[in-house]
Amino acid sequence: MSYEELSHTADVKIRARAPTLDALFGEAFQALMQVMYGEDRGGGTSRTLDINAPDLESLICDFLSEALYVSEVDGLVFRQADVHLDGMQLYAILDGEPFDPARHKGTEVKGISYSGMSIQRDAKGYMLDILFDV
Amino acid sequence: MPEGVIRAGPDEWEIPVGYVPGMRVPGKFFLSDALAAILEPGAVQQLANVATLPGIVRYSLGMPDLHWGYGFPIGGVAAFSLDEGVISPGGVGFDINCGVRLFMTPLVRSDIKKPRELLDSLYHAVPTGVGAKSSAKLTPAALSAMMEKGARWAVAAGYGLERDLVRCEEGGAMKQADIRAVSAKARARGIPQGGTLGSGNHFLELQEVSEIYDEAAAAAFGLVKGRVCCMIHCGSRGLGHQVCTDHLKVIEEATKKYHIPLPDRQLACAPAGSPEGTAYFGAMAAAANYAWANRQMILHAARREFVRMSGIEYESMPLVYDVAHNVAKIEEHTVEGHRARLLVHRKGATRSFGPGAPDLPGDLDAIGQPVIIPGSMGTSSYVLKGTATAMERTFGSTCHGSGRVMSRSQAKKKLSGKEVSDRLLSQGIIVRAPNEAAIADEAPEVYKPSSEVVQVVHDAGLSTLVARLSPIGVIKG
């Protein structure tokens, strides 16, 4: 399981890999939090998300958009997400801590983009390319 | 330059119909040879894709700061017929009414004895960076009024002067705002962020008017050589981002419902007059109004710090102007000799209305509107004026800034925030930011040179140079 930042001129493009779709969504979630708040993220406070969408691309876009919303409005910085997919139904438990400006340093993400988004399957599992509009 | 693109003038290029299947009009963009050398081919493709949308009028246009964006390129302008055309959130962007305002002070640079202290006081007065919350406690009713009345609400609530509204695009509020189309989620994000700067490329900068190119226009705009001024660049914050996210979902469905064929999913759009299109337009206008109110609140906070730190009068700091650079508006333009009401999308493009155009302050009617073009951190910003040429050629539009050339990940690898701020300090420019990474991200070399971009629009006559502004100190979000 891993993710990396690809070169993109205006925004932040992420490539994530994981053996399962559940884990892939979890990786994308961690990448989002990393961009917004940096590496130093603790746990202890949880939130749950329950989302469905017509297709996989919409599902990841809606999941990350919802995570972004909850993080901003509840003032929470999440360490990780435990994601379960059942078809196009997603259930996730997010684990995080209250925002602390002294420790959480990153860039605001304005939105999750369909631009250049792809989810591919190969022998090793899944690979996701996704763009965060910053 | 990608194959098939035709040179149409010294700084002008045309994408002929047929470059991509389904183009209804040609594409046209303005670039010098130096800027053409660093153009991303994807941006040309996007301009051509926009030309396939129903009801597009005359051209899919690109300004010289053109670069690859979400669906529509950044630096893109597209006008649509109200009857047969569409509206697209991708033609506006996530940060609805991201824009710039500039105000003057009566001070000269040597009057500011302690620039770092002044910058620090401004930094503490304007909440900045990720997670920063407003000190203004907005009630839900105040938020509604903010979305309906924009900067007018802010001035009535004590954040500024009546005169500020005259020097603001649309008088600081779009009348088409429909707050019923703004979700509870968007509102929840808007409540704590009134008067906050945000992060990324948003900034507040202390500047000096260092060069005047057009004495008459500068005098009319209130620009005086040697005087200190202050520029504010930000948008509609989380509220606007959420409006875009919410309505993109609806518009995606509408694209299917109305059987609009698209070359790219990101161009999701709905007929301008459809319920879905109308709802997006109303919500977008509400978010635009939030942005105008937000910049008005920041202006007020900044003025108060100047009063406190420099002992000058609040009323002695007039607003030069406020421009939006991510917005869609209904405007009247002349097309093939006839007046037509069009839905003009500007995404990373600035309105550049010339003499006699509607919505100009009375005293600027013979001059044209001020066009404010921010530079990147550490480089000059410019004030230009709107022109008749822009009215004729680009639906009254010009560039909005300089455009990135280096990604954030590259910037972080190549540059440290400390190096960048030390280098700027050696040039007499103070930088203040929540953390060092934010500084490296926005270093001067990650952007195209703003002087080059501005020269192209000046030479093409899309807006003409009035003054150059040099940075003294910058607060990065």
Give the pLDDT confidence score for residue B403 in this predicted structure. 77
In a domain, B98, yes or no: yes
Question: At A51, which helix (H) or strand (E)?
Answer: strand A45-52
| Best B408, B412, B439, B476 residue to mutate vs chain A (most A CBs within 10 Å) | B408
Interface contact A99-B131, CB threshold 8 A? yes
Q: How confident is the model at residue B378 (pLDDT cuts 50, 70, 90)?
A: confident
Whether B438 and chain A come into contact, CB under 8 Å, resolves to: yes
Chain segment B70-89, per-residue pLDDT in tens:
889 999 999 999 999 999 99
- The C-alpha atoms of residue B126 and residue B173 are separated, in whole angstroms, by 22
Q: In chain A, what are the domains?
A: 2-133 (3.55.10.10)
**CB nearest to A115's CB, from B70, B188, B238:** B70
Q: Do A110 and B67 touch (CB under 8 A)?
A: no
Chain B's closest residue to A59, CA to CA, is B249
What pLDDT does B296 receive? Answer: 98
Contact B51, B88 (CB under 8 A): no
pLDDT higher than 90, residue B6: yes
d(CA B69, CA B20): 18
Q: Do B198 and A105 touch (CB under 8 A)?
A: no
CA distance B391 to B352: 8
The residues facing A86 across adjacent strands are A89
Chain centroid to CA B331: 18
- pLDDT band with cut points at 50, 70 and 90 for residue B136: confident
CB-CB under 8 Å, B437 with A106 = yes
Report yes or no: B74 at the A interface, CB cutoff 8 Å. Answer: yes
Contact check, Cβ <8 Å, A110/B185: no
Q: Exposed (0-12), middle (13-18) or buried (19+): which is B311, by Cβ within 10 Å?
A: exposed
Decide if B431 is inside a domain.
no
Contacts of B408 (CB under 8 A, 6+ apart): A12, A107, A134, B441, B446
Q: What is the mean pLDDT of chain B?
A: 95
Q: How many CB atoms lie within 10 A of CB B405?
A: 18
pLDDT digits (tens, 9 = 90+) for A23-78: 999 999 999 999 999 999 999 999 999 999 999 999 999 999 999 999 999 999 99
b/e for B294-306, b at 16 or more Cβ within 10 A? bbbbbbbbbbebb
Domain containing B366: what range?
Answer: 6-405+447-476
C-alpha–C-alpha distance, residues B80 and B89, integer Å: 14
Strand bridging mode B319-324 / A45-52: unpaired
Q: Which residue of A lies nearest to B436 if distances are taken between CA atoms?
A: A105
Q: Do A107 and B441 touch (CB under 8 A)?
A: yes
The helix-helix angle for B275-310 and B140-149 (nearest 10°) equals 100
Q: Which residues of B are catalytic?
A: 400
Where helices occur in B65-136 by DSSP H, the ranges are 115-125
pLDDT of residue A34: 95
The first and second tokens of residue B172, run together, are 């600081």
Please state the domain count of chain B.
1
Contacts of A101 in chain B (CB under 8 A): 129, 131-132, 434
Nearest to A65 among B93, B198, B245 (CB): B245
Q: Kindly state whether residue B440 falls inside one of the protein's structural domains.
A: no
In a domain, B413, yes or no: no
> B393 in contact with A at a CB cutoff of 8 Å?
no
**Segment holding A52, helix H or strand E:** strand A45-52
Q: How far apart are CA B335 and CA B82, in angstroms?
A: 13
From CA B447, how far away is CA B423, in angstroms rounded? Answer: 16
pLDDT category, A114, cuts 50, 70, 90? Answer: confident
Please state whether beta strands B203-212 and B56-67 pair in parallel, antiparallel, or not at all (unpaired).
Answer: unpaired
Domain membership of residue B150 (yes or no) is: yes
CA distance B367 to B371: 12
- Label residue B297 by pLDDT band (50, 70, 90): very high
pLDDT in tens, B223-271: 999 999 999 999 999 999 999 999 999 999 999 999 999 998 889 999 9
On chain B, the residues whose CB falls within 8 A of the CB of A102 are none
The amino acid at residue B48 is: A
d(CA B274, CA B254): 9
Query: What pairs with residue A92 in β-bridges?
Result: A49, A83
* Strand B430-432 to B463-476 pairing: parallel
B38 to chain A, any CB pair closer than 8 A? The answer is no
CB atoms under 10 Å from CB of B161, counted, come to 18
Is residue B433 situated within a structural domain?
no
pLDDT of residue B408: 77
Binned at pLDDT 50, 70 and 90, residue A5 comes out as: confident
Q: Kindly state the average pLDDT of the residues B437-461.
A: 88
Scanning chain A, the segments in alpha helix (DSSP H) are: 21-37, 56-74
Tokens of B208: 């000096």
Chain B nearest-CA residue for A110: B241
Q: Is residue B295 part of a domain?
A: yes
Q: Is residue B453's pLDDT more than 90?
A: yes
- CB within 8 Å: A114 and B408: no
Mutate to test the interface with B, among A3, A107, A131, A134 (most CBs of B within 10 A): A107
Select the residue from A72, A99, A109, A117 to test the B interface by mutation, using most B Cβ atoms within 10 A.
A72
End-to-end alpha carbon distance in chain B: 35
Share above pLDDT 70 across residues of chain B, in percent, rounded to a whole number: 100
Whether chain A has a CB inside 8 Å of the CB on B406: the answer is yes
Residue A89, CB-side half-sphere exposure with 13 Å CA sphere: 1
Asked if the Cβ–Cβ distance from A69 to B185 is below 8 Å, we say yes
In this prediction, residue A2 has a pLDDT band, given cuts at 50, 70 and 90, of confident
Taking an 8 Å cut-off on Cβ atoms, the answer to whether A105 and B132 are in contact is no
**What integer pLDDT is reported at residue B133 of this predicted model?**
86
For B134, list phi and psi in degrees, rounded to 5. Answer: -75, 150
pLDDT confidence of residue B125: 95
Point out the residue among A9, A99, A105 whose CB comes nearest to the CB of B437: A105
Does B40 contact A at CB distance below 8 Å?
yes
Bridge partners for B343 per DSSP: B80, B330
Report if residue B242 sits inside a domain. yes
β pairing state of B463-476 and B381-386: antiparallel
Cα distances (Å, whole numbers) of residue B353 to A3, A52, B267, B365, B375: 46, 45, 27, 10, 21
Chain B residues 171-230 with a CB less than 8 Å from chain A: 185, 188-189, 198-200
pLDDT-based confidence at B187, cuts 50/70/90? very high
* Residue to test with chain A: of B35, B38, B46, B70, most A Cβ within 10 A: B70
| Predicted pLDDT at B84 | 96
Which two three-digit tokens encode residue B43? Answer: 């941006």
Q: For position B360, which CATH number holds?
A: 3.90.1860.10
Query: How far is it, in rounded angstroms, from Cα B2 to Cα A66?
Result: 39
For residue B409, pLDDT over 90 is answered with: no
The answer to whether the Cβ–Cβ distance between B199 and A12 falls below 8 Å is no
C-beta atoms of A105 and B434 within 8 A: yes
**What torsion do the CA atoms of B390, B453, B237, A75 make, to the nearest 10 degrees?**
170
Interface A–B counts its CB contacts (< 8 A) at 89
Chain B partners within 8 Å of A105 (Cβ) = 130, 434-435, 437-438
pLDDT reported for residue B450: 87
Do the Cβ atoms of A96 and A43 come closer than 8 Å? yes
Contact B342, B333 (CB under 8 A): yes
